[in-house]
Structures are given as structure tokens and as C-alpha cells.
């Protein structure tokens, strides 16, 4: 077997990206738990939002089918919005706490690429769950089809940009560990703010005008509210190019910032106890 350093870059990327899917597949209990959790969440949000529309046909510019489709897709997107790697002791926080982060800088794969490969593997695994859930919900009529064929195509592109923004935001918080050593509090705050301002708890269209204005100044709505609003037709195709441009700008700005922080992080590597 070839040594890791002699493997081509594509092979190293594949071996790294498949760590999460293999770990999940080899633990059937996790698969069953994920299925049950998603099924219960989808059932509950469908019941809730259908009940909210029992006395009205439209609210915040959304009819019942649009609202239910939005919240169900938001629920199905949870697996691709980040997996917890703390149990596998392969998060930045855990490695910095144990002092093993130094090995990230000694491997043939640079730490920035290793982090990216792992994240890609996480998201592809989560995408498999989201796609399976989406197809099942479409077959059972729980969610409606895209507003149009064009909306469906733009939604796919917007969702890709949304994941890129989300990746950069998560990476940014993880990189703070190199200066703070612990980021549990920051991660909890990020998770709450991200879910609130992205439309994960409820579509942003139901919030007051000042709240929606505030959200436009931050990158969080670009991670979920934008693509789902395009899917259901709340954002018309004529406005979609501008929304995609905003997502692209956030990807570029955050990528430049995280690239700079990666370079600075090497000077703050701390090995505790070894």
C-alpha cells in the first residue's frame, strides 16, 4: 500500500472526505436515530404550520402550501448544515484542547484542505439524507414542487452558494479556537443566531420589517432563507440574480477572511501535554 505522502491529491481528498460517511454507515444506530428524528420533526412542523393556516389562506405573502414546503425543506436541510464531530474527537475544539492539532500541520494534507475535505464529506452525507427525505415528501405530497422549472434550477445553484457561506461561517468560528482555545460558547451563539436569522426557526417573511432589514446586513439569511424562498416562489426569478450575487459576495469575503486566519493560526498552535 502506498504511503499517504505518495498518494495523489485526489486519492487523499477521497480518503479524507469519506471518513464521516463510513463512520455513520458502520454505526446503524445513528442511521436509525437520524431517520426517527427527521420523521418526527417533519411530522410536527407539518401539523403545526397546517394548524396555523387553519383560519387563513395567506400570511406574509405565503399560502399554506408555500409555508409548509418552506419549513419542511428547512427541517430536511438540517443534516447538511453541519454534523457534530466532537464524538469522533475530530473537531478543531477537541484537537486544540487535547494538543493534537499539531498533527494537522504535520500531515501531507495541509490543515486548510483537510478541514475542507472533511466538510465536503459531511455535507455529501447530509445531502443523501436531505435528498431521500425530499423525494419521500414529494411522493407523499407533503411538499410542493418548485414554483417553476427555472425556480428549481436557480434553487440548486442558490443552495450550493448557501452551503459555501455556511461552511465559511463555521470555519470562521472554529478558527477562533486558535486564539481562545475554547469556542463552545461561540458555537452555541452562532447556532442560535444562524438558525434565527437564516429562517430555520421560521421563514423570515413572518418577522417585522426592521428584523428583515437587519438580516440583509448579515450573511445568515444567505444560508437558507434565500434558496428556499426562491424554491417556493416568494423571491421571483426576476430578483434571483441579485440574491445570488449577494450570496457570492459573502462567499468571497468570508473566504478571504478565513484564508488569512489560517495563515495566522499556525503561529498559535498549542500542544497541551505533548
Q: Which residues pair with 59 in a beta bridge?
A: 62
Task: Look at 56-60, 65-69, 107-111, 213-217 and tell me which has the smallest mean pLDDT.
Answer: 107-111
Helix (H) or strand (E) holding 11: helix 9-17
Mean pLDDT of 81-103: 71
List all residues 6 or more positions away from 60 whose beta carbon is below 8 Å from its beta carbon. Answer: 203, 205, 206
Which pairs from 35-38 meet CB under 8 Å and 24+ separation? 38/75, 38/76, 38/78, 38/79, 38/129, 38/133
CA distance 198 to 249: 17
The tens digit of pLDDT for each residue in 153-172 reads: 999 999 999 999 999 998 98
List all residues 6 or more positions away from 178 whose beta carbon is below 8 Å from its beta carbon. Answer: 92, 96, 261, 264, 265, 268, 269
pTM above 0.85, yes or no: yes
Mean pLDDT of 225-229: 97
CA distance 164 to 172: 12
**pLDDT at res. 59:** 92
Does 200 or 183 have the greater pLDDT score? 200
What is the residue extent of each domain of the chain? 9-268
Please classify residue 53 by burial: count the beta carbons closer than 10 Å to its beta carbon, then call 0-12 exposed, 13-18 middle and 19+ buried: middle
Angle made by CA atoms 195, 201, 206, in degrees to the nearest 5: 115
DSSP 212-230: HHHHHTSSGGGGTHHHHHH
Does 274 or 103 have the greater pLDDT score? 103
End-to-end CA distance of the chain: 30
**pLDDT at res. 92:** 78
Cell of 130: 436531505
**pLDDT at res. 274:** 44
Least Cα distance to 260 among 164, 178, 165 occurs for 178
**pLDDT at res. 207:** 94
Task: Look at 43-47, 75-79, 180-184, 267-271 and tell me which has the smallest mean pLDDT.
Answer: 267-271
CA distance 146 to 150: 8
User: Is 60 exceeded by the pLDDT of residue 273?
Assistant: no
- Percent with pLDDT over 70 in the chain: 89
Confidence of residue 225 (pLDDT cuts 50, 70, 90): very high
CA distance 123 to 106: 25
User: Is 60 exceeded by the pLDDT of residue 88?
Assistant: no
Residue 61, SS3? coil
Angle made by CA atoms 235, 196, 224, in degrees to the nearest 5: 40
The tens digit of pLDDT for each residue in 105-142 reads: 777 788 888 889 888 888 888 999 999 999 999 999 99
What is the sign of the dihedral through the CA atoms of 247, 249, 252 and 255? Answer: negative
What is the sign of the dihedral through the CA atoms of 29, 32, 35 and 40? Answer: negative
Amino acid at each position: 500500500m502506498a504511503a499517504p505522502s505518495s498518494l495523489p491529491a485526489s486519492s487523499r481528498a477521497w480518503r479524507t472526505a469519506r471518513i464521516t460517511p463510513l463512520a455513520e454507515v458502520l454505526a446503524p444506530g445513528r442511521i436509525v436515530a437520524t431517520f426517527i428524528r427527521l420523521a418526527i420533526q417533519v411530522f410536527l412542523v407539518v401539523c403545526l404550520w397546517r394548524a396555523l393556516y387553519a383560519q387563513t389562506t395567506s400570511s406574509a405573502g405565503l399560502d399554506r402550501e408555500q409555508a409548509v414546503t418552506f419549513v419542511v425543506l428547512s427541517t430536511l436541510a438540517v443534516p447538511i448544515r453541519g454534523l457534530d464531530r466532537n464524538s469522533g474527537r475530530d473537531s478543531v475544539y477537541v484537537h486544540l484542547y487535547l494538543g493534537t492539532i499539531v498533527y494537522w500541520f504535520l500531515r501531507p494534507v495541509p490543515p486548510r484542505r483537510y478541514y475542507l475535505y472533511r466538510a465536503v464529506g459531511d455535507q455529501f452525507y447530509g445531502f443523501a439524507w436531505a435528498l431521500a427525505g425530499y423525494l419521500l415528501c414529494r411522493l407523499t405530497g407533503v411538499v410542493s414542487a418548485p414554483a417553476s422549472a427555472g425556480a428549481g434550477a436557480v434553487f440548486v445553484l442558490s443552495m450550493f452558494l448557501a452551503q459555501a457561506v455556511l461552511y465559511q461561517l463555521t470555519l470562521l468560528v472554529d478558527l477562533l479556537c486558535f486564539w481562545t482555545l475554547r469556542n463552545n460558547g461561540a458555537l452555541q451563539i452562532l447556532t442560535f443566531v444562524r438558525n434565527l436569522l437564516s429562517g430555520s426557526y421560521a421563514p423570515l417573511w413572518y418577522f417585522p420589517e426592521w428584523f428583515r432589514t437587519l438580516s440583509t446586513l448579515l450573511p445568515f439569511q444567505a444560508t437558507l432563507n434565500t434558496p428556499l424562498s426562491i424554491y417556493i416562489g416568494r423571491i421571483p426569478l426576476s430578483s434571483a440574480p441579485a440574491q445570488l450575487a449577494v450570496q457570492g459576495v459573502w462567499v468571497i469575503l468570508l473566504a478571504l477572511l478565513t484564508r488569512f486566519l489560517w495563515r495566522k493560526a499556525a503561529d498559535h498552535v498549542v500542544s497541551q501535554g505533548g
